[in-house]
Amino acid sequence: MTSLLDAAHLDGRFFDGNWIEGGQGYDVLEPATGAVLARAASVDAATVARTAAAARTAQRDWAAATPDVRASVFVQAAALARAHGEEIVTWVMRESGSVRAKAEFELAITIKAIELAAAMPHQAQGLVLPSEPGRLSLARRRPLGVVGVIAPFNFPLYLAMRAVAPALAVGNAVLLKPDPRTAVCGGLVIARLFEQAGLPAGALSVLPGGGEAGAALCADPNVAMIQFTGSTGAGRKVGEAASRHLKKVSLELGGKNTLIILADADLDLATRNAAWGAWLHQGQICMTAGRILVHRAIFDAFAARLADKAKALPAGDPMSGTVAVGPLISQPQLDHARDILDRSVAAGARILAGGTAEGLCLAPTVLDGVAPGMAAFEEEIFGPVAVLVPFDTDDEAVTLANDTEYGLSAAVISRDVGRAMALGERLRAGLLHINDQTVNDEVVNPFGGVGASGNGSAIGGPANWEEFTHWQWVTIKGAAPAYPF
């Protein structure tokens, strides 16, 4: 089997099937080693404008294609993703610092997202509304036109595909701007899958580059919607810029998510859930358990178990095949995590395990003695740091959990499911998990947060029709009425 990507695709001058004049590009680095993996084209505002105009033209023909034709593209794309699975997994590991298990899981849910999109062209796309006799009244879903997707580095393949696939499936064209650090697995891989699957030229274009490309996408008159996944700070800028041009905006942002462990919880299971929720993919997940609230009756025993687990988890280069925790994406991200640790320790917190770094690999860390007002309690770390906070009552746990501007994910672990559900009902979050940790996504579910975690918009499953289409009201009469004047 030939490779999905060849040397030409990894040249910084190659963009959307063409060569960019002047060879403008930048190096894509492997965070574990610093090696140059590829060069990515760096598009400017003029290129974005040309691509958006071409996408608007291509979208009309794509939307007019039969459901069978559109569905067949996604069936083929899913088959290609499976066939090239090892190549794709390797890119995710090397480019984003993912350990193999995480990269393989990311590929699996990406394929699931493509397959769910394949069903959308054949789903019901409207309603028959009540109306007066002699008039047929319909409400139908229509594609928006061109959708801009700005995707992050942490789950680069899936978090791009979960928007790209359904947006295309309902008849939109898509312009995808991946994070510059993961331009290959978060952009070029997706473009190649759909290109080989038979998607018409212009219906999907990848726009590698930095802030200039993103700003141009938010301002372009041919772009009807921006779907952004990333940090809250960047999301605020994207939301402001896109809304200024009256675009539809979907923002899936950061989180300071809380895992609550009640006194009756099984200590071993609670420890496993906390470790997974705090350290999976080095804590670089919007749903990461950013605070672990533990009932005081079991707090010391739990903290000791979690610290022992942290010391036993190896960190390093994912390609070695022997690590559970890989590198952070970049030096600034490591500096950010270390800064929060340093400020919290200066304020009275204690490091029970970890806290040291080798290269970009921050060892799994357990932070004790954390209280409201400390940096580790308030700020999103995006690093492998388990922040432990004790509580005495359910009311106190709810107060601590809701003491944040974020509202993405929350979880409660207890043998008493009724009590856990009653507590969960009081938590402000877009996602709630009883007897699980905070990091969950099954693709078929709506996914989104409130507050600083997003604008209440959701993508995934049944929410995709709401996000990537608009309603059109249509009435039909046998003859035009004779109005009084």
Residue 210: other Cβ atoms inside 10 A: 13
Under a CB-based contact definition with an 8 Å cutoff, are residues 267 and 298 in contact?
Answer: yes
What is the rounded distance in angstroms from the CA atom of residue 83 to the CA atom of residue 412?
Answer: 39
Instruction: Name the catalytic one among 286, 361, 378, 380.
Output: 286
Instruction: Name the catalytic one among 95, 106, 195, 252.
Output: 252
Q: Is 218 among the residues known to form the active site?
A: no
Under a CB-based contact definition with an 8 Å cutoff, are residues 263 and 391 in contact?
Answer: no
What is the rounded distance in angstroms from the CA atom of residue 239 to the CA atom of residue 228?
Answer: 9
Q: Note the helical H segments in 313-442.
A: 331-346, 375-378, 394-401, 417-424
Choose among 84, 85, 102: nearest CA to 93: 102
Q: Is 86 among the residues known to form the active site?
A: no
Under a CB-based contact definition with an 8 Å cutoff, are residues 156 and 128 in contact?
Answer: no
Under a CB-based contact definition with an 8 Å cutoff, are residues 462 and 415 in contact?
Answer: no
In terms of Cβ atoms closer than 10 Å to its own Cβ (0-12, 13-18, 19+), residue 372 is exposed
Pairing mode, strands 225-229 and 248-252: parallel
Sign, CA dihedral 69-73-74-79, equals positive
What is the rounded distance in angstroms from the CA atom of residue 269 to the CA atom of residue 345?
Answer: 28
| Positions marked catalytic | 252, 286
